[in-house]
Amino acid sequence: MVSANSRFLFLRFVIWTLASLSFACLLGEFYGVWKMKPFACLVLLPAMIALAAMAIFWRKSPHESRRELSILIIEGALGGLFAAVIYDLYRLPFVMNGYPLFKVFPEFGKMLLGANEPNWLVQLLGWSYHFSNGAALGIMFTMMAARAPKGVLFWGAAGWALTVEIILLLTPYRDFFKIHMPSQTFLVLTATAHLIFGIALGAWCAKRIARNRVLPTG
C-alpha cells in the first residue's frame, strides 16, 4: 500500500514536471527538437490548464495534502510573478541605457505566433511567456521546498535562481538571440538579476507559505 508521504512526493514531482514544460518549450527550440508554437499549443497550454485545475479544485479537497499542494501551486506562481516583476524593474535602467536585455521578448512572441505581425500580439505573447517562466520557476521551487522552514524557503529560492542562471548560461541562449554585450557585463547583469529574482521569490514564499501552511495528516 502506498503511503501518504509517497503520494505527496509523487504529486510534487508531477507538478514540478508540468511547470518545467514552460522552459522545455524554449529549450527544445534551441536544440532543434521541436518548434515553440506547436509545443506551446499541444503540450504547454494543457499543462498550464492542469496546474490551474489542481490549484482550484484541490483548495477544498478532503485530503489535507492536496490542499497543501494547492497553496504551494498558487503561492509559487504568485511569488514567481512577483519576482519576475522585481527582476525586470532591476534590469530596466540598464535597458534604458542601451543594454539589449529585453530584446528576447518579441523573439519569444515571434516563435510562439509563427509570424512577425501584428506587433502588439508579438509583444503580448512574448511578455506573457516571460512571466509564465517566472510563475513556473516559483512553482518548481515550492514543489522542491515544500514543508521547509522559513530560512530554507528564503535562501533556497536565492540558490534556486542562481542554479537556473548557471543552467541558462550552459545553453545557446545568448548566441541564439544574438545578444551582443561584453561577456563579463552580461554575466554580472544576468547573475545579479537572477539573484534578485531569487531573493524576491524567497521573501514571498517565506512570508506567504508559512502563513498559509497546512500540516497534512494524509
Q: What is the pLDDT of residues 108-163, one digit of tens each?
A: 999 999 877 788 999 999 999 999 999 999 999 999 998 888 888 999 999 999 99
Chain-centre distance of CA 198, in angstroms?
Answer: 11
Distance CA 48, CA 136 (A): 9
Q: What is the pLDDT of residues 95-112, one digit of tens each?
A: 999 999 999 999 999 999
Dihedral of alpha carbons 178, 180, 185, 189, sign: negative
Q: Average the pLDDT over 167-188 and give the result.
A: 91
- 216 or 85, which is more confident? 85
Assess if residue 196 is contained within a domain.
yes
Comparing CA positions, the residue from 10, 4, 7, 15 lying closest to residue 138 is 15
Distance CA 86, CA 197 (A): 7
93 and 214 in contact (C-beta within 8 Å)? no
The mean pLDDT value of the chain amounts to 92
pLDDT score recorded for residue 218: 36
Assess if residue 107 is contained within a domain.
yes
Q: What is the pLDDT of residues 41-51, one digit of tens each?
A: 999 999 999 99
Assess if residue 217 is contained within a domain.
no
> ω before 38 within 30° of 0 (cis)?
no
pLDDT score recorded for residue 114: 80
Assess if residue 218 is contained within a domain.
no
Dihedral of alpha carbons 196, 146, 143, 145, sign: positive
Q: Average the pLDDT over 33-40 and give the result.
A: 95
pLDDT score recorded for residue 215: 44
Is residue 145 classed as helix, strand or coil in its secondary structure?
A: coil
- 64 or 15, which is more confident? 15
pLDDT greater than 60 at residue 217: no
pLDDT greater than 70 at residue 214: no
Give how many domains the chain has, as a whole number: 1
Chain-centre distance of CA 93, in angstroms?
Answer: 23
- What are 27's three cell numbers? 529549450
Domain span at residue 122 reads 4-212
Q: Average the pLDDT over 25-43 and give the result.
A: 95
pLDDT score recorded for residue 212: 65
pLDDT greater than 80 at residue 82: yes
Assess if residue 95 is contained within a domain.
yes
Q: Average the pLDDT over 162-190 and give the result.
A: 92
